[in-house]
Structure 1
């Protein structure tokens, strides 16, 4: 049993099957962010079960339905114009995936005699054109990610100029290389090649467990060299690139939570509450699509396993639609001009 997991999720480990399940996921080598998401989701469900006094191991579909209602109607942590209550659809899906996998474990271990109470979507290949998928427990919405406008980007950079050099470098690298927060926080000093301005992302530090090499800009290179001088005052040893400067964790590797908190502070000061650490990745990939990069090139740069994910950024950029509209308008324009030319032959 990992002591770190017990300290982070004491409530979860108070229920032995839950602690065993999360420990197995940890031992299987799942990404730290995935382990954390599973742990937080299951803790939330256990708290709900305590508040409504039902036994987790024998929960019914009625209990799960009540939990879904709870997720959909609790006050929104970050309200938006189109959602003032409830968790985001993606967050609800994430919570229910963890609960469903936990009940799979209980059934497989013989700790639960009933079926899994969390419904799955059912694929029926004989229905419709090319088959269809019946909805699962809740509908799944595929929304395009939010990205800042040019004016909002300028506001962010104005605020960023007042940040420490470490935060400025992490911000710039995250955009340049479309890095996830786990990838930026786990960078090692040996992962950066300043002579060629390249970053090597190790497989074990990526979501898809696939290594890749990505470039960064000359401006970010200047920030990197300036940060190295500051880092030497914290530690001269090789290892984690970004170190904490706080008194409590001085010289310790920066955590994803510290970085997320720093981004929230920057976003709040810029008046952009929807901006997160992942927005930098969304913006970079969208800009690459706007610049005309091929979908497979963007997928390789981003570390996507499937181009279906990459298509989101093609849609967000509007590149294909804009090109098609321009071509259509050109053809219509040429057709109208041809008709106008016919007027010259009329006496």
Structure 2
């Protein structure tokens, strides 16, 4: 049985099990203490069951993550990005830890160390990768891991979603900075993103065959959520495509012949030339969604364009300006 006591701002937990010695640990939060206690109690309850402890002594966290990278990651749509993320994980000290000594407490310590250098949202993505790798190891690879400590550790709280939009005059600054870029595709990509709410990867994968000029639509066969969609195009979006259209169109050719790394580099350099505090490339999507709502489009109409299947998630992208709504209210003729 586990008992908890708060002392000097920390939580002390003691676990007693018949036939097992008293075990005590101290944690910064009660949730971490409870998770650790559950793991210790489970291990005590399972004592006597056949477990290949030698195998766990010889295998590390990094071994699990490496095997996951080599066998599971290549099957995913975002394989390249996940491989880069795993490259970072393998540099962490916890990657060297043998599975036999891995506990919720060790994972919590790792989490707290990472929180000193990266944001909670980044930590949660890392923990999700670890968690899935260990679940695969337990269920599919027959590795005798009694519990998944990455699933038991408490995730850090993430602040509310971003609400950064382009303020009056900032689009002109952004456009000028993009015009000065050595990558000729940066400015049309940025403006096209504002007109379509498409993600950077979706824009880069766009091919001429995906555009239906007569219907004024664009087909996105591969989206982040796995669901293809066809979106209507604004007048400016069509104009941009016409400007980019070569004399002889190769239907299978991409509209923006550049790479994601090249765009990231060009964006960073453009941001270094202009004063746009805390404005990120993905904020273009927030800006576009907000503009569509301000144009008067309905939730289903905006969701059709953005690809959101969850209304709550869509509303996290909508940041309407009160002054815009005030202008609309002023123009409404109310009956007297």
Same-fold status (TM-score > 0.5)? yes
1:101 correspondence with 2:104: no
Structure 2 SS opposite 1:317: coil
Number of aligned residue pairs: give it.
270
Q: Which residue, out of 53, 65, 72, partners 1:25?
A: 72
Q: Which residue, out of 301, 304, 323, partners 1:300?
A: 304
1:192 correspondence with 2:211: yes
Distance 1:308 1:104, change over 3 A: same
CA distance in structure 2 between the partners assigned to 1:167 and 1:138 by the alignment: 35
Distance 1:263 1:194, change over 3 A: farther
Counterpart for residue 40 of structure 1: 84
User: What's the CA shift string for 1:135-175, capped at 9, x where partnerless?
Assistant: x3322333233222122222112223334542222112211
Counterpart for residue 225 of structure 2: 208
Distance 1:56 1:199, change over 3 A: farther
CA RMSD of aligned residues (A): 3.4
Structure 1 SS opposite 2:115: helix
Counterpart for residue 150 of structure 2: 118
Counterpart for residue 288 of structure 2: 284
1:54 correspondence with 2:97: yes
Report deviation, 1:199. Answer: 1.5
Structure 1 SS opposite 2:312: helix
| Match runs of 1:172-321 below 5 Å | 172-202=191-221, 205-229=222-246, 238-243=252-257, 254-272=258-276, 274-314=278-318, 316-317=319-320
1:137 correspondence with 2:189: no
Runs of 4+ in structure 1 off by over 6 angstroms are none
1:299, 1:310 within 8 Å by CA — same for their partners in 2? yes
Counterpart for residue 339 of structure 1: none
CA distance in structure 1 between the partners assigned to 2:210 and 2:99 by the alignment: 44
Structure 1 SS opposite 2:90: helix
Counterpart for residue 3 of structure 1: none
Distance 1:37 1:110, change over 3 A: same
Report deviation, 1:264. Answer: 1.9
CA distance in structure 1 between the partners assigned to 2:297 and 2:242 by the alignment: 29
2:217, 2:231 within 8 Å by CA — same for their partners in 1? yes
Report deviation, 1:71. Answer: 1.6
What 5-or-longer segments of structure 2 have no aligned partner? 1-60
User: What's the CA shift string for 1:164-192, capped at 9, x where partnerless?
Assistant: 54222211221111011110111112112
1:91 correspondence with 2:110: no
Instruction: Provide the TM-score with structure 1 as the length reference.
Output: 0.67
CA distance in structure 2 between the partners assigned to 1:162 and 1:183 by the alignment: 24
User: What's the CA shift string for 1:194-213, capped at 9, x where partnerless?
Assistant: 444422111xx201122222
Distance 1:263 1:193, change over 3 A: farther
Structure 2 SS opposite 1:229: coil
Higher helix share: 1
Instruction: Provide the TM-score with structure 2 as the length reference.
Output: 0.69
1:192, 1:198 within 8 Å by CA — same for their partners in 2? yes
CA distance in structure 2 between the partners assigned to 1:237 and 1:113 by the alignment: 51
Distance 1:216 1:269, change over 3 A: farther
CA distance in structure 1 between the partners assigned to 2:235 and 2:324 by the alignment: 32
CA distance in structure 1 between the partners assigned to 2:186 and 2:275 by the alignment: 18
Report deviation, 1:120. Answer: 4.8
CA distance in structure 2 between the partners assigned to 1:37 and 1:57 by the alignment: 30
